[in-house]
Amino acid sequence: MKTVLKNSQIGDLLFEDGVITKVGGNIDAPGAEEIDCTGKYIMPGVIDAHVHFRSPGHEEKEDWESGSRAALMGGVTTVFDMPNTSPQTITLEALEEKRALAGAKSHVNFGLFFGGTGKNLEEIKRAKGIVGVKVYMGQTTGQTVDETSEFMDGLLRDLFENTERVIAIHAEDEELIKKHNQIYKDDNSPEIHSLIRSDLVSFSACRRAVHLAKKYGGNLHVCHVSTKKEIELLSKYPEVTCEVTPHHLFFTVSDYSRLGNFIKTNPPVRSQNDVDALWEALRNGLVSFVATDHAPHLKVEKERGYWDAPAGVPGVEFALPLMLDSVNNGLLGMEDVVRLMCEGPANVYGVRGKGFLKEGYDADITVVDMDISREVCNEDVVSKCGWTPYAGMTLRGWPVMTFVGGVLMMEGREIVSGNKGKEVVF
């Protein structure tokens, strides 16, 4: 099967049997299906390197079918799933169980993280084909952390010394969180979330991990960086990679009054000063990529009081439109979006054959229309959670076609194929 995309910003692009075979200029391809992309922008399919698709264990919030359909809507062709499912992906058996689920149901390509607990080093060494090892330094959804900071330091040291893989961390200092929980225990307003999990909570854990990576020579990646303090620290350690989420770019503490626990997430939303530092770090290349931390929770759960509402916000459907809208608003260039959402994650995790529109690369392609304006509505949400914190925002710039492995999967906000994705190779 041959397809040629005609007249995009780079000219034509030809792919055959799931692989890009020619890029640019005017391509004459007899027998190929022609798709007119006049006035459209074509880019590599988005790689969302941080999602929680909840399966196995919490299919009422999301599963590989619903999560991957949501991804397609957002122009996302590859997702990397985190290990805080139920059971957690911390044994070889759980890894194979998730692999089978994703392989059977996912409409996008996928990679799986393995959780590092401090007690499963031997299994980590034997785990094949994983994205990397995820370490939760602080308590978060689906993840209890009873260990001391000393235990955490030992765990990270063992990983840095014993694996070549990327060690991705959720950097929040559990001892500080516990202290702050005591201070605010009689308060029940969502605003306290950003005080309990203060910028120092993130910075403190981030700094410990960075110093250990330096000392023991590990591949450290810091997930969902949210503070100016972390950005300043990481600017001194260019070998440490990091990601930023859309919700930390588009919300601040002033949004609690409107959205309450719907923007309760770990790490929490921050001040405008922090947000400005994140945007600057996106532009100057300090941030390796944007990932959504797509963390669907049900509305009924979010409507509970502060202490009982789970942390996490969904994002896989709207990350690309949010970034494209930012291009239209002059905050970023289109090349920044491609670097931050396609090339960046491919480079950090060493993904084979993805992230670039190059000959020989997989035909994971997203076609975007920079002139479509649409209001984000809860009714349009494909994720099982059925809501989005971005509802009410009008965004200009949307994906109009998503190809996975050369197959047109989404067109004009309709899923048009039931094809399945493949596990990524590193």
Binding interface with Zn ion (CB under 5 A): 170, 293, 418
For 143, phi and psi rounded to 5 degrees? -150, 105
**Bridge-based pairing state of the strands 46-51 and 114-115:** unpaired
Q: 41 to 100, contacts with ligand NCD by CB under 6 A? A: 52, 84
Q: Which does 344 bind (CB under 5 to 8 A by kind): ligand NCD, Zn ion, none?
A: none
CA angle, corner 5, sides to 4 and 10, nearest 5? 120
What is the number of the residue whose Cβ is closest to ligand NCD? 312
DSSP-derived letter for residue 186 is T
Q: Which residues contact 190 (CB under 8 A, 6 or more apart)?
A: 256, 260, 261, 263, 264, 306, 309
Part in contact with ligand NCD (CB under 6 A); list of ranges 40-48, 107-115, 139-147, 371-379: 139-147
Q: 258 to 297, contacts with ligand NCD by CB under 6 A? A: 265-266, 293, 295
Under a CB-based contact definition with an 8 Å cutoff, are residues 384 and 314 in contact?
no
Q: Which does 141 bind (CB under 5 to 8 A by kind): Zn ion, ligand NCD, none?
A: ligand NCD
Count the residues in the chain: 426
How many residues touch ligand NCD under the rule CB under 6 A: the total is 12
Nearer to Zn ion, 287 or 324 (CB): 287
Given the residues 48, 81, 199, 293, the one annotated as active site: 293
Q: Which does 142 bind (CB under 5 to 8 A by kind): Zn ion, ligand NCD, none?
A: ligand NCD
**Bridge-based pairing state of the strands 19-23 and 11-16:** antiparallel
Q: Which does 265 bind (CB under 5 to 8 A by kind): ligand NCD, Zn ion, none?
A: ligand NCD
- Residues 312, 355, 389, 397: which binds ligand NCD (CB under 6 A)? 312
Distance CA 170, CA 140 (A): 9
Part in contact with ligand NCD (CB under 6 A); list of ranges 140-148, 174-182, 225-233, 372-380: 140-148
336 in catalytic set = no
- 401 pairs with which residues across the strands? 367, 411
Nearer to Zn ion, 113 or 160 (CB): 113
**DSSP letters spanning 360-376:** TSB--EEEEEEEEEEE-
Q: Residues 164-183: x/- map of binding to ligand NCD (CB under 6 A)?
A: ------x-------------
Buried b (16+ CB within 10 A) or exposed e, 53-92: bbbbebbebbbbbbbbbbbbbbbbbbbbbbbbbeebbbbb
What is the end-to-end Cα distance of the chain in Å, rounded? 26
Q: Which residues contact 56 (CB under 8 A, 6 or more apart)?
A: 85, 86, 87, 97, 98, 101
Residue 137 CB, nearest distance to Zn ion (Å)? 9
Nearer to ligand NCD, 78 or 266 (CB): 266
Q: Which does 31 bind (CB under 5 to 8 A by kind): ligand NCD, Zn ion, none?
A: none
Nearer to ligand NCD, 8 or 266 (CB): 266
Nearer to ligand NCD, 141 or 149 (CB): 141
Alpha helix ranges (H) inside 163-315 = 174-183, 192-196, 199-216, 228-234, 246-250, 256-259, 272-283, 299-302
- Residues 140, 198, 252, 261: which binds ligand NCD (CB under 6 A)? 140
Q: By the criterion CB under 6 A, which residues form the site for ligand NCD?
A: 52, 84, 140-142, 170, 265-266, 293, 295, 311-312
Give catalytic residue positions.
Answer: 293
